[in-house]
Amino acid sequence: MPWSSEKVWFTPPPYQRQWQAIRNNLGYTHAYSARMTLASMMPHGELASSGYCLAHQGLEYLVYLPAKRGQRFIRKLPSDWFAESVEIDLSRAAGDLKFEWFDPGTGTTVASGTFAGGGKHAFAAPVRGGGLVFYIYIS
């Protein structure tokens, strides 16, 4: 068959489709790394009750809130299997802070807003299900 410049669209086989979530998450990771001062961020798991936190203390925090027991593939699983809140130590972050909750499963920001920094704060996850990313930064 001779070469053609026409694009051929097809549905990838199942073993290729499983990689799409990985590709999407790499894109989300790149987008956050472009927004943050990633070179000055350090792992600080002790700052978040989830144990997952990158922080440039006082300026910005990226926290991961995983599902308590893995992905939610079956809708009838008990709701207590999934993380509902996270406590973050923002003692070094004075002033007004902005935040956003990002759901990598859907690729959307599900909530955002502002709050006063300082001390420990508990944040309720706006949705249940898979893991969520919580980004806090100075306004």
What Å distances lie between residue 2 and 5, 6, 8, 9, 85, CA to CA? 10, 12, 14, 18, 58
pLDDT for 61-103, tens place per residue? 999 998 765 444 445 545 554 568 899 999 999 999 999 999 9
pLDDT, mean over the chain? 84
Q: Is 7 inside any structural domain?
A: no
Closest by alpha carbon to 69, among 134, 22, 130, 132? Answer: 130
What pTM did the predictor assign? 0.78
**8 A C-beta contact, residue 127 and residue 84:** no
Q: Is 5 inside any structural domain?
A: no
Provide the domain count of the chain.
1
Q: Residue 89: which CATH number?
A: 2.60.40
pLDDT for 120-135, tens place per residue? 999 999 987 778 999 9
Instruction: Output the DSSP codes for 89-105.
Output: E-TT--SEEEEEEEETT
**8 A C-beta contact, residue 120 and residue 89:** yes
- Residue 36 is part of which domain span? 14-138
What Å distances lie between residue 13 and 10, 17, 23, 39, CA to CA? 9, 6, 16, 39
